[in-house]
Amino acid sequence: MADPVAPKPTPMQVFVVGRVEHRTRWEGKYITRVITPAPDAYSKPQLVSIRSKQALGGAGDDVSITCKLGGYTRKAYKSTDKETGEITSVVPVDMTLDAIE
Q: How far is CA 90 from CA 34, 66, 86, in A?
A: 29, 31, 12
In tens, the pLDDT along 18-54 reads: 999 999 999 999 999 999 999 899 999 999 999 999 9
Provide the residue ranges of all domains of the chain, joining segments of one domain with +: 13-99
pLDDT at 5 (0 to 100) = 72
Encoded amino acid at 22, one letter? H
Summarize the confidence of residues 44-66 as an average pLDDT.
95
Q: Residue 83's Cα: distance from chain center in Å?
A: 33
Evaluate if residue 2 carries a pLDDT over 60. Answer: no
CA–CA separation, 71 and 89 (whole Å): 19
Decide if domain 13-99 falls under CATH 2.40.50.140.
Answer: yes
Instruction: Identify whether the C-beta of residue 24 lies closer than 8 Å to the C-beta of residue 30.
Output: yes
